[in-house]
A and B are shown apart, each in its own frame.
Chain A
Amino acid sequence: MEKAVARFEIRYTQFLDEHGKATGEFPDHSKNPDELVDLYRWMVLMRTYDAKAIALQRTGQLGTYAPILGQEAIEAGVGSTMHSDDVFLMTYREQGVQLMRGVTMTELFLYWSGDERGSDYQGPRRDFPICITIAAHCTHAAGAAYAIKLKGEKRAVVCALGDGATSKGDFYEGMNAAGAWKLPVIFLVTNNQWAISVPRSVQSAAETLAQKAIAAGIPNEQVDGNDIVAVRDAMKRALERARSGEGPSLIEALSYRLSDHTTADDASRYRSADEVAEAWKREPVLRLRNYLSAAGAWDRAREEALVRECNEQVQAAVQAYLDTPPPRPADMFEHLYETLPPALESQRLEALGPEPEPAGDKDTAVV
């Protein structure tokens, strides 16, 4: 006897096509264009911030930086649907989500300048720090979700990762645990087609990355990640599932990394200008603007005012960042343990050097 014991299908959602036209009726949360205007503002702010960060790096005022260009719809979709007391775990390319969750731009600049204080967010205090070791945070996300479930809380955990990250054991391990224990966690895979120089096709032979969740018994779907409405829709459903105790989800958001991998990378070495030009046609910001303009909710004057506002806001953050006094050598020991073990005191003094400690406030102002 032979029979099929399992079958699967991967759902794909798009509401807003690449020209900014609705492909069908919008879900309730996005019916009113004025509500989308707010998200558009965030997306433009993200893009302004991103361009400034690159400019700062190019002029030696920031360290290696990972651009978010092209992923603004995913970031705004996640940022606008999560609650402030949810937990966000991220790699390094979700700075737009961070901004929406209350991490200040100045903190981001500090972090990317190589200053530890940038991870001490005044905003989302329960969000994890940027996880540079790819996919390691997938298991942390499962753990955080387990803790939340154990405490009987109605919070959700969102774990953002890239397509490359789905090749790592940590991703499978975290997802598997989340499925087994029905944990309130969402794995949000930003499939931007490239993991540095390795294209999505070399990363995995799987037809979709969404289907990787099937083996873990987790509901999964694909969305057009350049379509803010689709991202929000999938996120809202997944968050609802998590909060109501129905367990984890995986969302694969299809997008494209329009910029270099980081400022230390040169993407023209491994991908064609044609491919990038094609991707620009599908980019999320212009798409939403076209939609809003056609709906009469946006116009040139408002655009110009917004660009001005964003520039001012970014410039103020840059100034606050540049005005922040440099970190002190003793900071290396400041937060190593709750109380520095006496055995390390001599090392701390050595790091301080012969100069007396600079006077002033210990907790340097972080604006």
Chain B
Amino acid sequence: MAEITLVEAINLALSHELQRDESVVVLGQDVGRDGGVFRSTLGLVDKFGPERVIDTPLAEGMIAGMAIGMAVEGIRAVAEIQFSGFAYTCIDQILNHAGRMRYRTRGRMSCPMVLRTPCGGGIHAPEHHSESPEAMFAHTPGIRVVYPSSPKSAYGLLLAAIRDPDPVVFLEPTRLYRLFKEDVTDDGAALPLDTCFTLREGTDVTLVTWGGMVHETLQAADTLAEEGYAAEVLDVATLKPYDLETILASVQRTGRCVVVSEAPKTAGFASEIAAAVGEHGLLYLMAPVGRVTGYDSVMPLARLEKQYMPSAERIADAARLAIGWSG
């Protein structure tokens, strides 16, 4: 066991899989000699060589497309897109090709690849470096969208993503890359995909979130606990396909649900969960399902990003509103 950061956990998982499975390759801009701009691929080129840890030319569409071609030919490509705002050009490849390869060929071909990219705000980066594109990928049939929230979940879920027989978009909360450490054992044990994780049990309100916002949501739960309210905190972890069952079971116990996301509000993934809880859990609900999200504005440049992103305070406010709801 070793105390490591989330970005180190990513590195550990990549290293483990490169070692375990010769068909795994890592590709992307600056992933080789530089070890990635966030250092998530640090040292891998020294261990596994430039043919398996590939510095690519600067072209995201090509990176995603090449990963698809490799995957169909039996190479497990783990592609890195340097920052979330540059992953949008991959959506065509993921949506029209990766997500449909198995379907279109009636199972003759598959596309087991991973597209990794750091996501979300909070690190004072330049523009287009802090976006939250999860809803766009989650809207895409045929893929998995995975979003870890801690060193442990990053390690276990990335192993699962690389081993998964279908394409996975793996989103990494940039803000948490180095925010805290956890004990992670490099035992090669994957965590299950398509499953919610209950991070904290509670009976008064269900707080549903994923990725970087898990951090603020847990803080909000602490605040609520000081006020005598027990919040249950669920980490969705796999956004597509997501584990509605666990969410509904929790809402059935608490009667209240608040969904937290830093992406813009309209048509975001929080809306999906709120709608599904409304659709299937209406009779459990004692308050409308709340959403705490970013605004329907552009992710602002650094000086306003804090005001844009949901704070623990805003989350706690929404939880209090749900708890105190009276028709």
Question: What is A's interface to B at a CB cutoff of 8 Å?
Answer: 63-64, 92, 111, 113-116, 132-135, 164-165, 167-169, 195-198, 202-204, 264-265, 269-270, 326-327, 329, 331-333, 336, 344, 347, 350-351
Interface membership of B58, Cβ < 8 A:
yes
Docked Cα-Cα span, A197 to B35, in Å, equals: 9
A87 to chain B, nearest CB (A): 21
A332–B124 CB distance below 8 A: no
From known contacts A114-B124, A167-B59, A202-B55, infer whether A327 and B303 are also in contact, taking CB-CB under 8 Å.
yes
A49 to chain B, nearest CB (A): 18
Residues of chain A contacted by B128 (CB below 8 angstroms): 132-133
Residues of chain B contacted by A202 (CB below 8 angstroms): 55, 57
8 A-B pairs closest in CB distance: A114-B302, A197-B34, A167-B57, A164-B58, A114-B301, A329-B307, A114-B303, A332-B297
Q: Mark B43-55, 1 if CB is under 8 A from A, else 0.
A: 0000000000001
Select from chain B the residue with minimum beta-carbon distance to A332: B297
Select from chain A the residue with minimum beta-carbon distance to B307: A329
Interface membership of B85, Cβ < 8 A:
yes
Interface membership of B122, Cβ < 8 A:
no
Interface membership of B300, Cβ < 8 A:
yes
Residues of chain A contacted by B298 (CB below 8 angstroms): 332, 336
Residues of chain B contacted by A113 (CB below 8 angstroms): 302-303
Interface membership of B37, Cβ < 8 A:
yes
Docked Cα-Cα span, A327 to B303, in Å, equals: 7
Docked Cα-Cα span, A249 to B321, in Å, equals: 61
Docked Cα-Cα span, A113 to B61, in Å, equals: 30
Docked Cα-Cα span, A196 to B80, in Å, equals: 15
Select from chain A the residue with minimum beta-carbon distance to B36: A197
| A-facing residues in B269-313 (Cβ within 8 Å) | 295-298, 300-305, 307-308
Q: Apart from A204-B57, A351-B295, list 15 A-B contacts with CB within 8 A.
A: A64-B126, A114-B126, A114-B304, A132-B129, A167-B62, A168-B58, A168-B61, A198-B56, A202-B57, A269-B34, A331-B300, A332-B307, A332-B308, A344-B296, A347-B265
B303–A326 CB distance below 8 A: yes
Docked Cα-Cα span, A72 to B296, in Å, equals: 40
Interface size, B (range): 35 or more
Interface membership of B30, Cβ < 8 A:
yes
From known contacts A197-B30, A347-B265, infer whether A333 and B297 are also in contact, taking CB-CB under 8 Å.
yes
Residues of chain A contacted by B300 (CB below 8 angstroms): 116, 327, 331-332
Residues of chain B contacted by A269 (CB below 8 angstroms): 33-35
B33–A270 CB distance below 8 A: yes
Residues of chain B contacted by A196 (CB below 8 angstroms): 29-30, 34, 37
Residues of chain B contacted by A347 (CB below 8 angstroms): 265, 295-297
From known contacts A63-B126, A113-B303, infer whether A169 and B297 are also in contact, taking CB-CB under 8 Å.
no
Interface membership of B73, Cβ < 8 A:
no
Interface membership of B86, Cβ < 8 A:
yes
Docked Cα-Cα span, A346 to B56, in Å, equals: 45
B139 to chain A, nearest CB (A): 21
B34–A168 CB distance below 8 A: no
B303–A203 CB distance below 8 A: no
B59–A63 CB distance below 8 A: no
Interface membership of B21, Cβ < 8 A:
no
A197–B55 CB distance below 8 A: yes
Interface membership of B127, Cβ < 8 A:
yes
Residues of chain B contacted by A350 (CB below 8 angstroms): 295
| A-facing residues in B19-36 (Cβ within 8 Å) | 29-30, 32-35
Docked Cα-Cα span, A363 to B234, in Å, equals: 43
Interface membership of B267, Cβ < 8 A:
no
Docked Cα-Cα span, A132 to B37, in Å, equals: 16
B136 to chain A, nearest CB (A): 16
Residues of chain A contacted by B61 (CB below 8 angstroms): 168-169
A172 to chain B, nearest CB (A): 10
B313 to chain A, nearest CB (A): 10
A197–B124 CB distance below 8 A: no
From known contacts A63-B124, A132-B128, infer whether A327 and B34 are also in contact, taking CB-CB under 8 Å.
no
Docked Cα-Cα span, A116 to B55, in Å, equals: 33
A264–B37 CB distance below 8 A: yes
From known contacts A114-B301, A333-B297, A344-B296, infer whether A134 and B58 are also in contact, taking CB-CB under 8 Å.
yes
Which of B30, B128, B298 lies at the interface centre, i.e. has the most chain A CB atoms within 10 A of its CB?
Answer: B30
Docked Cα-Cα span, A347 to B268, in Å, equals: 15
B125–A64 CB distance below 8 A: yes
A198–B308 CB distance below 8 A: no
From known contacts A196-B34, A332-B295, infer whether A115 and B303 are also in contact, taking CB-CB under 8 Å.
yes
List 12 A-B residue pairs with CB atoms under 8 Å apart, sorted by A's residue number: A111-B301, A114-B301, A116-B301, A134-B58, A167-B58, A167-B62, A195-B29, A197-B34, A327-B303, A336-B298, A347-B295, A350-B295
Residues of chain A contacted by B30 (CB below 8 angstroms): 196-198
A198–B304 CB distance below 8 A: no
